[in-house]
């Protein structure tokens, strides 16, 4: 299956993607995680992305699209993938369509996670992220690690992402509404969108997503 996950910052895309990718046996491809891995490794790509991320703005398409296409071309993505955080504007959605067309592939669904803004702010304010792998995320209230400040998965140190400050979250939400939300209509025109509520327990949202994807298939 080829799925795009869309939703505001803090909706739970990364959290759900980890479970869905495992259940569907497809890789979870997060452009945010790829950028953070490049930043922590000090690569030229990471250096290009860092300032934009810190400000809550989108990294330029020239950088992002090449990185995403490169990742989708890996062998583990040959039979499908779950995209999280890409595409994030219309130019990226058109580039993805071009990539799929060139490779004679199609998307199966665009899963839209709906969550009220007040909940998003609570989720982001309490999020703690692993220094070793930003896909390992916790929450001080909703998903506590077994040992405070330590990642359950790999033992890494947990920290608060620099772009999770209240001010930057407001900017990220603004970017989401103005640049990312239009891709939902773009995909609606292709009949691909399934919208679910992302409220409730993590496991309940996963089940809702699996049911919605099964109904779409």
Enumerate the active-site residues: 13, 88, 127, 161, 172
Q: Does 130 interact with Zn ion (rule: CB under 5 A)?
A: yes
Distance, CA of 115 to CA of 68 (rounded, Å)? 26
Which letter does DSSP use for residue 77 in this model?
G
Q: Does 135 interact with ligand AP5 (rule: CB under 6 A)?
A: no
66 is in an annotated binding site: no
Distance, CA of 214 to CA of 217 (rounded, Å)? 5
Q: Does 156 interact with Zn ion (rule: CB under 5 A)?
A: yes
136 binds, options Zn ion, ligand AP5, none, Cβ within 5 to 8 A by partner type: Zn ion
Q: Does 67 interact with ligand AP5 (rule: CB under 6 A)?
A: no
Nearer to ligand AP5 by Cβ, of 83 and 109: the residue is 83
Given the DSSP bridges, would you call strands 127-130 and 158-159 parallel, antiparallel or unpaired?
Answer: antiparallel
Q: Can you read off the two tokens belonging to residue 212?
A: 């919605």
From 17-25, 135-143, 187-195, 206-214, give the range in contact with Zn ion by CB under 5 A: 135-143
Distance, CA of 72 to CA of 62 (rounded, Å)? 16
Q: Does 14 interact with ligand AP5 (rule: CB under 6 A)?
A: yes
């Amino acid at each position: 299956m080829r799925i795009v996950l869309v939703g505001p910052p803090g909706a739970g895309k990364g959290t759900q993607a980890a479970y869905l990718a495992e259940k569907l046996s497809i890789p979870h491809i997060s452009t945010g995680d790829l950028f953070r891995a490049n930043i922590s490794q000090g690569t030229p790509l990471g250096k290009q992305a860092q300032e934009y991320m810190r400000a809550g703005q989108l990294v330029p398409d020239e950088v992002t699209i090449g990185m995403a296409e490169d990742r989708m071309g890996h062998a583990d993505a040959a039979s499908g993938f779950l995209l999280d955080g890409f595409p994030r504007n219309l130019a990226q959605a058109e580039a993805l369509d071009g990539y799929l067309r060139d490779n004679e592939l199609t998307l199966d669904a665009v899963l839209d996670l709906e969550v009220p803004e007040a909940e998003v702010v609570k989720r982001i304010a309490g999020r703690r992220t692993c220094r070793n792998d930003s896909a390992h995320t916790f929450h001080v209230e909703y998903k506590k690690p077994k040992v405070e400040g330590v990642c359950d998965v790999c033992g890494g140190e947990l920290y608060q992402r620099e772009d999770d400050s209240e001010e930057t979250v407001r900017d990220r939400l603004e970017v989401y509404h103005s640049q990312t939300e239009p891709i939902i209509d773009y995909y609606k025109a292709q009949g691909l969108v399934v919208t679910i509520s992302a409220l409730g327990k993590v496991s309940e949202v996963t089940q809702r997503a699996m049911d919605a994807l099964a109904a779409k298939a």
